[in-house]
Amino acid sequence: MASVEFRSVTKSFGSFNAVSDVSFSIGDGEFVCLLGPSGCGKTTSLRMIAGLETPTLGQVLIGGQDVTHYHPKDRQISMVFQDYALYPHMNLADNIAYPLKVRGKSVSERHGRAREVADVLKIGHLLDRLPSQISGGQQQRTSLARALVYPSQVYLFDEPLSNLDAKLRLEARGFLNHLQRDMGMTAVYVTHDQAEAMALATRIAVMDQGRIVQYASPIEIYRLPATTFVANFVGNPPMNLVEVEASHGNGSLQLRADGLSIAPLPMTDVIGKALATSSKLTLGVRPEHLHIAQGSAPNTITAALFANENMGPESLVTVDRADAGRVTARIFTDDHLQLGETVTLAFSPEHVHLFNSKGDRIPAAGE
Ligand SMILES: Nc1ncnc2c1ncn2[C@@H]1O[C@H](COP(=O)(O)OP(=O)(O)O)[C@@H](O)[C@H]1O
Ligand SMILES: [Mg+2]
């Protein structure tokens, strides 16, 4: 296993920067997820670690060694692709053993090792089959087995679960989590699925338009999102974001928006700096930090009920603030709400996130 580092890496395709001046380091034994919407540069970043793309600028290091211009085969990496990339004419045993074959290992070693890995992944009984004769979940495990059959310094995954149905995806996610904690592998895992990143990663790099906007542990990303983009990308449903007009006096901050009632918050220097640029701030509250309150009270958002979706253990209650957008609460009580009825959602001040007019987090006092 080995560490991975990007030093000011840029990858351009013509005049377009798919990856812009990205720097990060991944410790030995870490499982880092590159998380972001389609087209933000995740696969391009992964391919630069693998050596399938060469950076336009900057360096890639594996195990402290500059491998920017190394051929993929000289990097000791394994990669699991989104479409599994199995050889259709080879049975599973040969597919799994392929990395050993290209390294000139004997037939008996190849077969022994392929069986071992296949047994761990519970596909040992399928070794004679062709990829077309097994299910999508089994194909996914075959491509995983092929990546694991030969010890690598770094394991790379490009959305390996995205072709599985929801149930299999959850099962495979749990399996990968177990495997990583068990093997202590260094892994870089690309996904656009925030739940997958939260479940698997030791650290998440949230990407937007070729840049890393936040690189932190899942819990920090969730609790202290650095920008409104991160707040909106992580969490299901995502954090509610409400545009507010701010004013201050006598050491307290007053926020105003239609349907919002909020007690004054303590004023800080950082808030003062943000307000010097613009009096428009964004208030964020996570759906799970909202509950239904009766009547008008401070620290509430009041609007007409738009939807009430019963999810089993919880309901998603959404109110419509017209032009100001919708707000969704995760409610764990059983309420009988009528469409269009006025609903008041309450929150505690300690669950309020504030962002400046550029969308950057304003740290709370003591944060
Ligand atoms: N070989 C290429 N030539 C031109 N543009 C590319 C190439 N590869 C990727 N891109 C562009 O770079 C951006 C990032 O792509 P990619 O890394 O595949 O994103 P992601 O994996 O996050 O969806 C996209 O706009 C994509 O169209
Ligand atoms: Mg991709």
| Best residue among 22, 43, 188 to mutate for probing ligand 1, ranked by most atoms within 8 Å of CB | 43
Has residue 46 got a pLDDT over 90?
yes
Ligand 1 atom having least distance to the Cα of 19:
14
Ligand 1 atom having least distance to the Cα of 38:
23
Identify the CATH homologous superfamily for domain 4-232: P-loop containing nucleotide triphosphate hydrolases (3.40.50.300)
Ligand 1 centroid to Cα of residue 150, in Å, is 29
For residue range 285-308, what is the model confidence (pLDDT) as tens digits? 999 999 999 877 899 999 999 999
Lowest mean pLDDT among 25-39, 152-166, 280-294: 152-166
pLDDT value of residue 186? 94
Ligand 1 atom having least distance to the Cα of 44:
17
Residue 169 pLDDT grade (very low, low, confident, very high; cuts 50, 70, 90) = confident
pLDDT value of residue 166? 86
Q: Delimit the domains of the chain by residue range.
A: 4-232, 238-362
Closest residue CA from atom 27 of ligand 1? 39
Ligand 1 atom having least distance to the Cα of 34:
22
Has residue 107 got a pLDDT over 80?
yes
CATH code that applies to domain 238-362:
2.40.50.140
pLDDT value of residue 219? 97
For residue 209, give the ligand nearest its CA.
Answer: 1
Tokens 């992944």 -> residue: 121
Closest CA to 136 of 115, 94, 167: 167
| Best residue among 44, 82, 157, 207 to mutate for probing ligand 1, ranked by most atoms within 8 Å of CB | 44
47 Cβ below 6 A of ligand 1 = no
| Best residue among 6, 10, 11, 13 to mutate for probing ligand 1, ranked by most atoms within 8 Å of CB | 13
39 Cβ below 6 A of ligand 1 = yes
18 Cβ below 6 A of ligand 1 = yes
Closest residue CA from atom 18 of ligand 1? 43
For residue range 213-232, what is the model confidence (pLDDT) as tens digits? 999 999 999 999 999 999 99
Ligand 1 atom having least distance to the Cα of 46:
17
Section 107-132 average pLDDT = 92
Ligand 2 centroid to Cα of residue 272, in Å, is 40
Has residue 165 got a pLDDT over 90?
no
Ligand 2 centroid to Cα of residue 340, in Å, is 41
Sign, CA torsion 112/117/121/127: negative
Return the amino acid letter for 298: P
